[in-house]
Structure 1
Amino acid sequence: MKKILIIEDERSIREMILELLEKEGFQTISAEDGSIGIQKAQEHLPDLILCDVVMPQPNGYEVLSALRHHPATATIPFIFLTAMGAKENIRQGMQLGADDYLTKPFTMEELLGAIASRFEKQAILASQSQQQLDELRNSIALSLPHELQTPLHGILGLTELLIEDYEQIDRREVLEVAEGIYAAADRLHRLIQNYLLYVELELAAKDTERIRFFRSAVTHYPKVLIANVATQVAKRYGREADLHLNLQNTTVQIADLKLNKVVEELTDNAFKFSRAGTPVHLTATVSDEGFTLWIRDRGRGLTVEQIARLGAYMQFERKFYEQQGSGLGFAIAKRLVELHQGSLSIESTPGVQTTVKITLSNLTP
């Protein structure tokens, strides 16, 4: 049974709505002013709130603002009931986060229709959220165990070789085995560090003090940093000749370590998902829009649907392509850029090319 809270200071209207909704099978709660309404909303957590606008302090707008700033009530559907039907009044309510607006006098059919519409929309959103959660769960189940086990198998296999054949292995082979162990351990370490960083960034996104701290740092020579990071990634893949740089310089609103991480993860993706012998271009420009970095590759690309679903642990066509990476790198880069008031977008043509565009604030006068 759906629970509806009615906040209305006019007793006759409040009782009329209560009677109507109870006849329709809803569980109802009522409040005669805004303060009691806020208290009952936080206490009972209704499925929907109907609230008058013009009431003694706090008024309806203040009630909505208070509820939207409280985590437990922030997402409860909210419908205003008011005699003020002016466009500016409606706009004010919608900007505060109201879901609908009913102008008095309204009919029973209009009220029930508005309630049904809110519940239908809520059901659709819940279904979409569940679908995304199921996709994420399946993606984690497919990708994360593989990403953890692959380097672990390498480490265990190579150390077992050393243990069993240490008397027959010459110094050169020992070096090769040690390099293999180091590479596998480095991959595992990077995955763990990325996971911890991703969790940290998701928590930081809800912490205004952390966000303010992030935005206080700057990088003075992004051109040099980007060139160094991109060159290191290209060497990792043995593709120095495929790297093409065309970079301008400025001062950007992001710490050098954070920018380093963004460039490393996105450049690594560009090399990872493109063939040797095809170019990877990094181009940076300075304009009124800010500092913009484009990273282009001629890899297998993504569809529009795949771009829309990009996120942590999301991989595509894994059964057709043997690929390393859990999808965390892109999610980390995107979150870092957004936390610094920047933007990150992707344009891609499957089988042709992918372009990642990053824009950050330019602090040079």
Structure 2
Amino acid sequence: MPAQILVIEDEVQIRENVAEWLRLNGFEVETAADGMKGVTRAVQVPPDLILCDIMMPGMNGHQVLETIRGNQALAAIPFLFLTGKTDPVDQRYGMTLGADDYLTKPFTSENLLLAIESRLQREALRKASLRAQLTEQHLKVIQSTGHEYNTPLNGILGFANLLADHYDEFDRADKVSMLDMIRVCGLRLKRSLDNVRLMDTLQVMTPSHEAYPAFTTGKTHIDADFMEQLVRTVERRQDEQIRRSIDVQPAQLGIGEENFQTIVDELLDNAAKFSNPASLIAVTGLTLGSMYRLSISNEGRFFKPEDISQMAPYRQFGRKQYEQQGFGLGLSIVQKLVELNKGTLTIESQDNRWTTVSVQLPIVPVNV
């Protein structure tokens, strides 16, 4: 299918000549006589490339470019200026706005064709790379979801079938134990589903999003009792006891309680999941000026320094070496929530296999 090009030019002769030449070279061409008509046409039928004059009455070329780049559906379209201005300052300004190239009038048809083909080829490579990334991400999601959903579902169905088919053969203790395992599997499945939904929301979170205030406002009082409750929640979901030491200074943090609980839950879950059996998990909280640092340390798998910069949704480190639960969303969720609330996330892993994950969040006065 031939590429479609939109030519925005107020000079009739130039507009018609450029359009005719492009059609002769196999392109589909739409034209607009001014900037406003050009933007309207681009919104109606997004082109593969835009050629635009700069000096036009009404909306000039720079304003057209700003409008195009500000529209999410059009922002990636290659944009070439057609201009009689040769001032380097003017060209730099256009490039800062996101222009891909300049063609100075008068230009030859060959130069025009080379510039267009070069930009279209670059855009084709960009799209191919994006498709490859999407395919890779899709495969990661499929691989992780198949295991992560089926494992707790199999547990739920397996124990439910045993109870339904052999109920009278089990004593009360066995029945309670199986019901408890159904509960544990249900909690794990719910958490997996909740995390996928939350990550989808956080990835598109901007100040204009209707849910933005829910993720960026609120207060939380932290103390030892509060942290102990969160540890017990993780214990119930993982169905195992966690050896812990909790030493946190009381404080009021500038983050909503639900969001803070999500952060702590993910960090505790990771610490318990990747700790050596029966090893200690240390939880410390300290006021540092206007910020509060919460650190969770565990002895277990070494976290490589290069892994920190590669954190991403559905990315699990050491998946080939270790069997592990989850989608690899926990740290990405924590990072997003911490950043939305003006905080920072750091991870330090020592040679003795102690790993400490710390979040720093703003403190707000108790009376605020």
Q: TM-score, normalised by structure 2?
A: 0.80
Q: Structure 1: 5+ residue runs without aligned partners?
A: none
Deviations 1:25-65 (A, max 9, x none): 33222222101111221222110112222221211222123
Match of 1:322 in 2: 323
Q: Number of residue pairs matched?
A: 360
1:181-196 maps to which residues of 2 (within 5 A)? 181-196=182-197
Match of 1:104 in 2: 104
Q: Residue 264 of structure 1: CA displacement?
A: 0.9
Identity fraction in percent: 34
1:6-17 maps to which residues of 2 (within 5 A)? 6-17=7-18
Q: Structure 2: 5+ residue runs without aligned partners?
A: none
CA 1:248–1:23 in structure 2 vs 1: closer, same or farther (change >3 Å)? farther
Match of 1:37 in 2: 38
Q: Secondary structure at the match of 1:25?
A: coil
Is the Cα–Cα contact under 8 Å of residues 266 and 329 in structure 1 kept in the other structure?
yes
Q: 1:85 aligns with which of 84, 87, 90?
A: 87
Is the Cα–Cα contact under 8 Å of residues 53 and 59 in structure 1 kept in the other structure?
yes
1:283-322 maps to which residues of 2 (within 5 A)? 290-297=291-298, 298-301=300-303, 304=306, 308=310, 310-311=312-313, 313-315=314-316, 318-322=319-323
Is the Cα–Cα contact under 8 Å of residues 34 and 63 in structure 1 kept in the other structure?
yes
What is the distance in 2 between the residues matched to 1:307 and 1:262? Answer: 19
Note if 1:336 corresponds to 2:347. no
The residue type equivalent to 2:174 in the other structure is E
Match of 1:50 in 2: 51
Q: Secondary structure at the match of 1:167?
A: helix
Is the Cα–Cα contact under 8 Å of residues 154 and 180 in structure 1 kept in the other structure?
yes
The residue type equivalent to 1:70 in the other structure is N
Note if 1:70 corresponds to 2:68. no
What is the distance in 2 between the residues matched to 1:205 and 1:255? Answer: 17
Match of 2:273 in 1: 272
Q: Residue 116 of structure 1: CA displacement?
A: 3.5
Match of 2:29 in 1: 28
CA 1:77–1:220 in structure 2 vs 1: closer, same or farther (change >3 Å)? farther
What is the distance in 1 between the residues matched to 2:233 and 2:67? Answer: 50
Is the Cα–Cα contact under 8 Å of residues 303 and 350 in structure 1 kept in the other structure?
no
Q: Residue 347 of structure 1: CA displacement?
A: 6.5
Is the Cα–Cα contact under 8 Å of residues 34 and 57 in structure 1 kept in the other structure?
yes
Match of 1:239 in 2: 242
CA 1:95–1:291 in structure 2 vs 1: closer, same or farther (change >3 Å)? farther
What is the distance in 1 between the residues matched to 2:122 and 2:202? Answer: 30
CA 1:41–1:347 in structure 2 vs 1: closer, same or farther (change >3 Å)? farther
The residue type equivalent to 1:102 in the other structure is Y
CA 1:231–1:163 in structure 2 vs 1: closer, same or farther (change >3 Å)? closer
Match of 1:159 in 2: 160
Q: Residue 188 of structure 1: CA displacement?
A: 1.8
What is the distance in 2 between the residues matched to 1:286 and 1:148? Answer: 40
Note if 1:128 corresponds to 2:129. yes
Is the Cα–Cα contact under 8 Å of residues 222 and 251 in structure 1 kept in the other structure?
no
The residue type equivalent to 1:85 in the other structure is D
What is the distance in 1 between the residues matched to 2:198 and 2:187? Answer: 16
Note if 1:60 corresponds to 2:61. yes
CA 1:52–1:232 in structure 2 vs 1: closer, same or farther (change >3 Å)? same
Is the Cα–Cα contact under 8 Å of residues 198 and 332 in structure 1 kept in the other structure?
yes
Is the Cα–Cα contact under 8 Å of residues 79 and 102 in structure 1 kept in the other structure?
yes
Is the Cα–Cα contact under 8 Å of residues 14 and 30 in structure 1 kept in the other structure?
yes
Q: TM-score, normalised by structure 1?
A: 0.80
Q: Residue 185 of structure 1: CA displacement?
A: 1.8
CA 1:115–1:356 in structure 2 vs 1: closer, same or farther (change >3 Å)? farther
CA 1:213–1:144 in structure 2 vs 1: closer, same or farther (change >3 Å)? closer
Match of 1:216 in 2: 217
Greater shift, 128-137 or 229-238, is seen at 229-238
What is the distance in 2 between the residues matched to 1:225 and 1:117? Answer: 60
What is the distance in 2 between the residues matched to 1:111 and 1:304? Answer: 44
CA 1:150–1:208 in structure 2 vs 1: closer, same or farther (change >3 Å)? closer
What is the distance in 1 between the residues matched to 2:289 and 2:100? Answer: 38
Match of 1:147 in 2: 148
Deviations 1:305-340 (A, max 9, x none): 7953621x4445545432111223334333333444
